[in-house]
Each structure stands twice: as C-alpha cells, then as structure tokens.
Structure 1
Amino acid sequence: MAEFKLSGLSCAHCAQEMESEMQKLKYGKDAKVLYNSGKMVISDKMVMADVEKILQQEGVSVVKPDGEHDHNHDHGDRKLIIQIAISTILFFVAFLTEKNIPVWGAFSIYFVAAALSGYQTFFKGLKNLFRLKFNIDTLMTVALVGAFTIGDWREGTVVAILFGINEYLEGFGMRQARKSMAALLKVVPKTANILKDGVTVEVPINELQLGDIVLIKAGDKVPSDAMIVEGKSSVNEAAITGESMPVEKQIGDALFGGSVNNEGTLKAQITAIYADSSLAKILHLVEEAQETKTPTELFIDKFAKYYTPIIMLFAVLVTIVPPLFFNGVWSYWVYEGLAVLIIGCPCALILSSPVAIVSGITRSAKNGVLIKGGVFLEQLAKTKQIAFDKTGTLTEGKPVVAREVVYDDANFFQISGMMEQSSGHPIAAAVMVYVTKHQTTFPEMTDLTTIGGKGLRGTFEGKQYFLGNEQQIPDASWTAQSKQDVDKLKNEGYTVVVTASETAVLGIFGIRDALRKESKQLVSQLHEEGMTNIIMLTGDHEKTAEKVAKEIGIDSYYAGLLPEDKLTKIQQLHDQNGSIAMVGDGINDSPALATADLGIAMGKGTDSAIEVADIVLMQDHLGKLPITVKIAKRVRAVVGFNIAFALGLKIIALLLAVMGYLTLWMAIMADMGATIIVTILGLSILFRSKEEKAIK
C-alpha cells in the first residue's frame, strides 16, 4: 500500500464518495481517503491516472514529495474568500440598482455574482447529474438552476454566496484540527551530529545506526532514543510526556528522541533507529488514531447514505403534491422543493463527530496521553468502573520505611546501617535511605553473613547482631512488648525488619511499598468524573491491600491475585457491572489490560506499554488520567449535541417547507449555521484548561 498527502480535501462527504469510486477501480478494494488527516492510502498496483481523475472531480490533488514541507491551503482559501467577497459586492450592487437598470442588466450582475461563488459546485453538480449521482453538489446545482429559472435571481445569488461561505467553513474546522495535529510532528528532529573518529558529521536521522555516538548541544533535539555516555544536563521531555518540568539526566540515563537538551553538551549512544524510537511510534499511532471510526461515526456514515436520496424524494413530493392535489401554485411549490434540496446537504451532520474527536485526541497527545483512536475516547467517556494494579501504579513499586519502633536509640540506627550498607536488596536500600537521616557514616561489621530467606548476621566489637524477619532473631532477644509490636505492624500491612543483639531487640522497621503522592487525589477526581466503582487488584496479602485501599479511598479491592487471577477478576467484574477499564504498567499486567474493555498503560514510552494498551500515559504517574476522562466526556457531549443540533435544524426547516414557509436563504442559513456551530464546538475542545496546564 502507498500513502499520499492530499491538497484541497475539505469535504467529509466528498471524501467518502471518492473512496467509494476508488474502491470500484482495479486493485482498489482497500483504497481509503482519510479525511481527518488529509491522506489517501491505495494499492501500489492501482493506475495513478485513474485515481487522480477521481480526485480532480472534487478539486483534490496529490501533494508531490518535494512539496510536502510546510504544505498548507492558504492560497486556495484566499482565492475562495476573494471570490466570495467580489460576489457579495456584486450582489449589493445589483440589489441597490435593479430598479434603475434594465432587467437584463440586473440578471447579468446577479448571474456573475452567483457564478463567481458557485461555478465549481455547478460544474461538479452538472457532471453528477449526467452520472445520476446525487450528492451536495448535485443538490445545489439543481437548486441554483431552479432559482434562476423561476426568476428568483436574488435568492439564487444569496444561496450561491452562502454556499461558498459554507464550503469554506466546512473545510476550516478540519484544517485547524489538522494544523494542531501537525504541530505535534514538528518535534521530529531532521538531522543528527554523529561523532566519527573525533569528527562531527551531520546526517539525516534516517541514517542513524544502533550504537552510533551522537553529540547533542544545548538547545538541540535528541535525534532518537539514546543513552548518555558523557555529560549531564536537564532535558525537556514535554514532546513525549507532556510534562513541562525539565528532567535531570546523567551518564547511563535514557533519552527520548524529540526531547530537548536544555544546557551543557551530551554524548549519547543510539539505542533505537528513528523508525523504532518511542517518538516515531507515538506519532504514527496518533496519526492512525485520527482515522479509527467510532460506532457513532459509523452510524452517521450509514445514515448519510440514505439521507440524501430520501431528501430528494421529499423535495419532489413537496413540489408536486400541493399543486396536483391541493390546487397549489406550481411556481410557489417548486420554490419550496428547491429549498428542501438545500436542506439535503449532510455536511454538518458528517462534521459533527470528526472535528471533535481529532481535537480530543490532539489535546490528549499534547498532555502526553496517547489515545489510539476515537473509539477508545468514546469508550472512556462511557466507562463507570476502573481497576488499578497496585504495585507500580498506585504505588511507587519500591519499598520505603513507613514506621519505626525504637527500643535502643544509641545502637538501632548505627547497627542497622552497618549491616545493610553493603547489601543490594531493595529493602536494604529503603533501610539505608531512612537510617542516613540519623547517621551518615557507619563502621564496617565483621563476619557479615547472609542467611537465605531470613536476613543478616554479623559481629561488631565482639558482639553478634541480627537483622531480618522474625525467624532471624534469637528467642532470647524477644520480649512480650517487641513480639506484640511486630504482630501489630504485620496486621497493619507492613513488612517488618527487626534489628537485634544476642540479648535484646534494638528496634523494628515497618516497610511498605510507597504510595504515589497523587493516588489519593486521583481516586477523588475520578469519583468526581463519574467513576462509580474504583477497584484495586494486587498480589499482596489482605492486610496490606486493605490499608492501601482505605488510605486512598478505593471502593473495592481484591488481594492475593496472580497475573492470571487478575484476568479472571476483570472478566467477572465485566460480567457483573458492565464495561471496565484496567490501569497497569503495561508489562506485568498485559493479560488483564488486553482483557478489559479499555486498557490504560502507564509506561513512559516503553514498547510494551505502547503495544498492549488502548490508552498510554506517557508520564510515570497517573496525574493526567482524570483530565483525560474529562476530555473524553467533553468530546462525547459535543458530538451528541452536534448531531442533535444538525438534525434538529433540518427537521425544523423541513416542517417549514411542508407548511410552505421555507425560503432558499433560510435553508442555506440553517445548513451554514449548523456547520459553524459544530465546527466551533469541535475546535473548542483543543483549548486546555488552567487546571490542565497546572498539572506537572
């Protein structure tokens, strides 16, 4: 399959029709015209001349490769605006002078004014008539010819001018949405500075190879995913994660392609060629997301296919039934029938959804939230229950000392530090972080031995000391109080680490997985956004799960679950309560993420997170999830209102036509008004709230 950018694609209905025509061509079965992104995807085997012939019928052309940079439609827009402006001036000239000039003079001015705004529509509509193809251009052509034929030159001209404005506005909304999406693509670096034999060579990013060493100066973009081998700096990762605060980086740290080096000079080793980089995958998925149709859009597309023919039939009935059966005046009801034809334009209805959805996907992408399609945005808006994996999602995924019980102030911290300072165990690291708040240097302990599954034993100044779980501590060291304190901490969900001598317990550490600072606020905000059942799934034991759930306000929790148990639990919750979303880290939770109606991964760009989930939070926290739910609900509300508004205006206009009160200008104003409203509301989703900008 080959992909081409298109110029002049400003009509959603026309895009559908061109796609249908292409699919009738040889090898055209899978041809697609992607209105949202302004692209065309066709088979390499298709005859390009035949494809371009179909495009030319709608005034659309293929953008040549050398014209892809900074391509826009400003020239075409300017031409259309000038034509409309001249038409409007001519209309007022004719309107003000028609009583003082010959009839043929007034007719000529009105005709020229109408032709300037509507000649393209007229010729396209004429071709369609000969092919018995009925679309908006056909309807407008019949309406214009009919208006001039029955002598309503003034209204025919107004219709032509207003339709020209409507045509511009129809394309304007999607062009703005596309521009906003295109702004995301500007983060892509064009070249990289490779170091070869001590010499810097500038090459296109597509020529980068794994293992290349690149030089990244202050202000430069990182060309592809890489690892720092020399230097340190702060890096702006906003293009990837949506986070405005710079991140400090040093030797060994990973860099995202597209992030910006703020200061200093870095040398980094390329860890992924650009095509496989996080940035390339994100941009590709965001572009693909624009074209996945929601159930609502599929319904509108199907409805629009039947809508125009029904309107045509209704227009014929409005024209002939009153004169034939109720002694109506033919010229009057022909006029009403022409007005009905104008109402047959399905453009506002077709536009009601895509502008809003593309805006929602784009706004989320700017926040560092990757939504893989409008269908998932719609699903998120409808979901009322959401399940979270605990470890690494609601918690930091690393142990910290959360409680302490000290019996011997003089020795507890020193002995604990001496025993743990050389250990690489995560719990030892948590203990060291805590004890260094009290003492920074520790003597060496002799005969330090690790006892598998229990802890450590060592000697200092002729005395033996022990550190670990209860089994590691000699019976002689325990007192009734220390045993009671250990049981209490365990019942509260802590992992206990005891430090003792041969004769006494010196103190106890209560260890737990640190809660993310945003977890409690997250749960509260999700409740505010209408999530009625917030669930926690964890492999931890019951007491730990209960404590975490109570602390952050979780509605229900399930403990002691293996990965396969989480999958089963997701299925059970779906069967009991309906649609469910699952939030995890995208690695250990892949089965559950795939099983849920909506998989949400928090992975800061990891391959597994991007591949397995429907929505990816590119940050290493959950702070952007509530605002994403809010955006999804806003998109759904806007789409619902747009559909109701577009259809409502048309129903009112059709009722006026039946009663004989509908005029041509009222019909086109109703259609144009609907187009303006649905476009403005769709684009309004792009504007970020103060609350959203404040999330770091």
Structure 2
Amino acid sequence: MKEYQVKGLTCAHCTQELQDEIQKLEHGSDAILSYNTGKLRVNPNVSMSDVSSVLKSEGAYIDAHAAHAAHEHHHHDHDEEGHAHSHDHSGNSNTKLLLILAAVLFGITILLDGKVPTSAAIIMYLISMAISGYPTFLKGIKNLFRFKFNIDTLMTIALIGAIGIGEWKEATLVALLFGLNELLEGLGMEKARKSMETLLQVAPKEATVISDGVETVVPIASLNIGDIVLVRSGEKIPSDGIVTEGKSSVNEAAITGESLPVEKSVNEPVFGGSINNEGVLRIKIEKAYQDSSLAKILHLVEEAQETKTPTELFINRFSKYYTPAIIVVSILVFLLPPLFFGGEWSKWLYQGLAVLIVGCPCSLILSSPIAIVSGITRNARNGILVKGGVFLEQLGKIDTLAFDKTGTLTKGEPHVEVVKSYDEKTFLEVAYAVEKSSSHPLAKAVMKFLQEKEIVAGDPDDIETVSGRGIQAKVNGQLYYLGNEKSMEHVQIPDEIRQDINTLKEAGLTLVLIANQTDILGMFGIADEIRDESRAVIQSLHEIGIKHTVMLTGDHQKTAEKVAKAVGVTEYFGNLLPEDKVAKVKELVSKGKVAMIGDGINDAPALASADLGIAMGKGTDSAIETADIVLMQDHLGKLPEAILIAKKVNRVIKFNITFSLALKLAALLLTIPGWLTLWIAILSDMGATIFVTLVSLTVLIQKKQ
C-alpha cells in the first residue's frame, strides 16, 4: 500500500464519501482515507490521476510536499513538513479572509437596506453569498446532477430555494454561517492533529557517529547496528542502544511518559528519542532506528488514529440513511400543509428548506473522531500506547482486570525477606563465600542482602554444584552445604528448626539453607518483591469502577495467596500453566469485559484471549506485539489514569451524539408551529458542530501533577 497526505478534507462525512468513490476505482477496493490523520493509503496500481479527480470533486488534493517527503530520507522530513504546514495554514488564512470580507459586505448591505435600490442590495447579497459559499455551491450543483445527496447538496438546494422565494438576507446568512461552520470544523480536527504531530516530532533527525576517532553527522535512517554514536548534553539519543562510555541522567518522557530523569552509566540500556540531560555519552547502537522503541511508538500511534470504532462505523451507517430520510421529511413539510391544510406554498417551502439544513449530519459524524484522537494523544503523552480507537473505547468499558503476577504486580526479582540464623557469624560468611561467584537469581538476592549487611568473606577452597542437591563447598578447610530442604538430608533437623522451615514455606517463601556436616547454620526465606505501587494501583482501580481484579500466576498457591493479600486483588489463582491462564481468561470473558495485563512471553496467549490485552513496555516484544495497549513504563502506575481517559472519551462521545440529535430534534419540532427559520436551522447545526468539537478537545486537557 502507498501512503499520501491529503489536504482540504473539510468534514468526516465528505471524507467517508471520497473513500467510497476511490474504492470504486480499478484496484482501489482496499483504499483507506482517514479524516483523523488526513492520510490516504492505496494500492500502488491505482491510477493516481483518477484518485486526484475524485479528490478534486470535493475540493481536496494530494499534498505534493508530503508525497515528496515520503520518498526522502528522514533528514528532509522536517523541511517538507514545514512547507506542508505553511501551505495548509495559508489555506485556512485565505478562508478566514474571504469569510470576513463576506461578513463585512453582508453587514454593509443590511445597513444600506432601503437606502439603495433593491437590485443593488441583491447584487451585494449575491457577492457575499458567492465569496463565503462558492466551494459548497460548486460541489452541490455537481452532486445534484449525479443525484448524490450530501451536506453540500442539501445546502445548495436550500440556498437556491431561499433565493427562489426572495429570502436574500437569510440565504446570505446561511451561506456565511455554513462557511464559518466548515472552517471551525476543520480547525477543531486540525487542533487534535497538531497535538498528535507535536507528539510525533520527538523523533531525532540526525546522529553523530564516531568511526576511527572521526565524528560524522549522519541522518538517522543511515545508522547501523554496532555504530558508536556521541550524544552531548541536551541532544536526543538517536536509537536504542547501550552506554559504552560516560555517565549522565536521561529524560525518557518521550518513551515512558515519566518526567523524572533516569541515571545512566556504562553497560546500561538507553531508548532512542530520550534526551541526554548533562555530560557526554558514547552509545553503541543496538537497533536500527525503524526498529527502536520510539519508532514503534510513533508508528503505532499513527496507525491507531486510522482505525474506526464500532460507534464511528454505526454513525457512518446511520448518516447514510439519515440524510435521505431528512430530504423526504423536508418534501413532506413543503407539500402536506398546503395540499391538505390550506397552508401558504411559499411559507411551507421555506420551512421545508430549513428542514433540509437540519439534515446536515456534520455534528453527528464529528461526535467521535476528535475525542478519540485526543484520547489516543493524551495517553501517548503519558507513555501509554493505545493501538486503535476501538481499544480505547473497550478500555473505558472493562469491569474486570486480570494480572499476571511476576513482573507485573511484583518486580520479577527475588529478594531476601526473612533470615533465620542459628550460628550467625559462620552462616553469613559461608553464604558470602559460596554465593559470590554464582549467577543464579537466588544467589544474587542473597548477595544483595549480604552486601547491605557489609558481610565480607574470602573465596572457598573448593566448590561443587550437585544436580538437584544445591552446592557443596569447602571454606577454611570445613565442608558446607547450601541448597533447598532436599539437599539437607544428611542432617538431623531439630523440631524447632523444622517448625521454622514449615512456617516460611507456608508463607510462600523459597528457602536457601546452609549446613555443615552435622547442623543447620541458618536459612534465607526468599520472595519475589512486590512493586511499591501495586497496592495503591489496585485500590485506585477499584475506586474508578473496576469491580473485579484477578491475579493469575504459575507460582504455587501459598505464594499467590501471600501476594494477593498484600496487593488487595479480589481473587487469585496459582499453579497455572500458560494454557491454564488462557482457560481462566476465557472463563472471565464469559462473565464480563476483561483486560489482561502481563509482561512475559508466556502471557501472550492470555493477552490475546482477553477482550483487551495490556502489556508492560519493558516486557517481551512478543507480549507488546500481541497486546492492544502498551504501558511503556515498567510499572502499573499510569493504568488508572489511562482507564479514566478512556471512560472520559466514551462519556464525551455519548454526550456529543445525544446533544447533536437533541438539537436537531428540537429544530425539527419548530416546524410544527411553523417557527423554524433558515438561520435557526444553520445555527442548530453549527452550534452543535462547534460545541461537540470543543467538548471533544477537553480530553486533551491534562491537569498538572
């Protein structure tokens, strides 16, 4: 599929119609034209001259600057974007100037009413009408001949009718207000798009590569894996990599949404797009830019805008029937009173024309897209990637959250929770000597504890790992054993120590025991450390309306119970294999709207089985690719806010639809006593359009923390 930037899309309804027309072209059946992003994706075999003709019929066109930029390297993008934006901006300025000119002319004509000949006033009204509404009339007249009834056709019929019955003043006011409505509608979407573009501009453009001591500035696209780049203070890190030299704090807000700087030193990973705050870093590039975290984020965010939610699809279907239905109603309003109730033809023609204007579905179609783009943008600013409007809508509806335990509610890193010592000095020194050379996760947890206690010991004389039996080592000529309970079979364990072992096991701890040839010297009770924020997050989720929080884990039931109590979930299940997690998620889905949150490769099937899959950003690529929503932070802290944003978007969309329909219904009811005027009709539509746009943009407002 080829991608083009389209300018001049005035409304969501017209965009939908243009997409339908392009899909009728040869090879065009899978074409997608998005009002939200202004992007057209088509099969490369489609004739672009035919596409341009279709777009031209609605006053839209392919932006040559953006099309050219798509074929250039990244370092040209910035300039080309600048041209495109200035072009678009000047288009808006011209429209504003013409509307102001038309409004001034209209005002002068009203002031001169009765002081100049009627023919002169009519000419002035016509000029004002033409200046403010000529694109609408041209499109409307073309559509009339094609029997295609959209907003432009309805407006054109209404204006021709108003002129036909001599309502010059009202016809001009309708043209002016409609022109203003179109402009404001475009500006509303532009505001949401601009907010998104600001987000997308965090991408770095260039990198300073060091090769044989020589510094070369290269475009980001030409970076290779293994290149060493130099990043000075204030510069953006060009792509994901590892620090090879230097120490600094880095702002990762573009990736994780976290504003606090993160300290980085040698051998630590860094993300492309994050900013080096101070000092100079040398970084070895580990991913080409297009595979980096930032590039994936930007790609996902752009794609997210182009998916349509069930609500949007419903509104599009509804408007296809709504507009023709309104035409039928307007004909009945015009014909029935004069034919059967002795009404005046001119009065009821006027009422019928006003009903036509009420038939404009703009505000209804605009109820959803601006709110959705705003919601996706707001979440992306917080480091939460929602892969489409449909998932944002779902997030606002979930009532059950299923969590994986390890790495999600816990840190996924073992730590020493309890120490039982029966010969403290020997026990701790032997533990240090035996564990310091081991890379086992439990050994690392023990070493971290010993280092905090400032225990130091020499190397063992001899060390041997016995499969399934732990470690045997000689320290200062004495033989010691380190391992689990099974590796202590050579020792007669006294009752009080046996009781300690059972107590720690019941508490869900993993045991590391140390003994000599006759006695147990002590033991470490090790657990996966619970994340600091887990309890507060679960509590917040319950407060914002999540009824059911469930923890799923492969760990044994005792460990599951311990973590579940500590974090406050409503239900927990232990001893689950990956396929058991899937079965459990499916069972939950049968009872409610379920989101599953995980970070490991074994979570991917469960994420895919839930109504909504949410992955932790520093988890595996597999979980991130399977998930519908990605939390780019390595914690759950931003999850409640993401759900609140989704709930707000859903509320805004519901409100917008209700408000639009209520205003239209109120305007239609005014026809019963014959009170509906052309300007009330256009104001009802315009008021609704402006209002739903402003309400949708409130989603972008972020309270300062």
TM-score (norm 2): 0.95
1:406-448 Cα shifts (integer Å, max 9, x gaps) = 3334433333222222222111111111122222422333233
Q: Which amino acid aligns with 1:333?
A: W
Distance in 2 of aligned mates of 1:278 and 1:436: 35
**Structure 2 residue aligned with 1:660, among 671, 674, 695?**
674
1:602 alignment counterpart: 616
On the 8 A contact 1:598/1:614 being kept in 2, the answer is yes
On the 8 A contact 1:241/1:369 being kept in 2, the answer is yes
1:534 alignment counterpart: 549
Identity rate, percent: 54
Distance in 1 of aligned mates of 2:600 and 2:394: 19
1:30 alignment counterpart: 30
Bigger Cα displacement from structure 2, 267-276 vs 540-549: 267-276
Q: Residue 542 of structure 2 aligns to a residue in which SS?
A: helix
Structure 2, unpaired ranges of 5+: 70-78
1:221-255 Cα shifts (integer Å, max 9, x gaps) = 22222222332322221111111122222232222
On the 8 A contact 2:600/2:619 being kept in 1, the answer is no
Distance in 1 of aligned mates of 2:164 and 2:312: 38
1:386 alignment counterpart: 401
Distance in 2 of aligned mates of 1:478 and 1:464: 18
CA RMSD in angstroms comes to 1.7
On the 8 A contact 1:10/1:174 being kept in 2, the answer is no
Aligned length: 690
2:639 alignment counterpart: 625
- The 1:8/1:649 distance shift into structure 2, 3 A limit, reads same
2:665 alignment counterpart: 651
Distance in 1 of aligned mates of 2:42 and 2:430: 72
Bigger Cα displacement from structure 2, 474-483 vs 524-533: 474-483
On the 8 A contact 1:469/1:497 being kept in 2, the answer is yes
Q: Residue 441 of structure 1 aligns to a residue in which SS?
A: coil
**Structure 1 residue aligned with 2:626, among 588, 601, 612?**
612
2:368 alignment counterpart: 353
User: Is 1:342 aligned to residue 357 of structure 2?
Assistant: yes
On the 8 A contact 2:616/2:624 being kept in 1, the answer is no
Q: Which amino acid aligns with 1:656?
A: L
Distance in 2 of aligned mates of 1:237 and 1:384: 31
**Structure 1 residue aligned with 2:81, among 53, 69, 72?**
69
On the 8 A contact 2:483/2:513 being kept in 1, the answer is yes
Distance in 1 of aligned mates of 2:476 and 2:207: 59
Bigger Cα displacement from structure 2, 216-225 vs 498-507: 498-507
On the 8 A contact 1:477/1:501 being kept in 2, the answer is no
Distance in 2 of aligned mates of 1:207 and 1:447: 52
Q: Which amino acid aligns with 1:59?
A: G
Q: Which amino acid aligns with 1:546?
A: E
TM-score (norm 1): 0.96
On the 8 A contact 2:429/2:455 being kept in 1, the answer is no
Q: 1:457-496 counterparts in 2 under 5 A?
A: 457-473=472-488, 476=491, 478-496=493-511
Distance in 2 of aligned mates of 1:338 and 1:244: 55
Q: How far did residue 606 of structure 1 move?
A: 4.8
Q: How far did residue 57 of structure 1 move?
A: 1.8
Distance in 2 of aligned mates of 1:133 and 1:356: 29
- The 1:586/1:613 distance shift into structure 2, 3 A limit, reads farther
Q: Residue 81 of structure 2 aligns to a residue in which SS?
A: coil
Bigger Cα displacement from structure 2, 26-35 vs 246-255: 246-255
Q: How far did residue 462 of structure 1 move?
A: 4.5
2:72 alignment counterpart: none
2:76 alignment counterpart: none
Q: 1:365-376 counterparts in 2 under 5 A?
A: 365-376=380-391
Q: Residue 442 of structure 1 aligns to a residue in which SS?
A: coil
Distance in 2 of aligned mates of 1:46 and 1:654: 43
1:583 alignment counterpart: 597
Q: How far did residue 504 of structure 1 move?
A: 3.8
2:694 alignment counterpart: 680
2:307 alignment counterpart: 292
Q: How far did residue 503 of structure 1 move?
A: 4.5
Q: Which amino acid aligns with 1:425?
A: H
Q: How far did residue 622 of structure 1 move?
A: 0.9
Q: Residue 449 of structure 1 aligns to a residue in which SS?
A: strand
- The 1:619/1:45 distance shift into structure 2, 3 A limit, reads same
On the 8 A contact 2:599/2:618 being kept in 1, the answer is no
On the 8 A contact 1:586/1:593 being kept in 2, the answer is no
Structure 1, unpaired ranges of 5+: none
On the 8 A contact 2:249/2:276 being kept in 1, the answer is yes
On the 8 A contact 1:229/1:252 being kept in 2, the answer is yes
Q: Which amino acid aligns with 1:42?
A: V
Distance in 1 of aligned mates of 2:252 and 2:454: 36
1:593 alignment counterpart: 607
**Structure 2 residue aligned with 1:183, among 192, 198, 218?**
198
- The 1:605/1:471 distance shift into structure 2, 3 A limit, reads closer
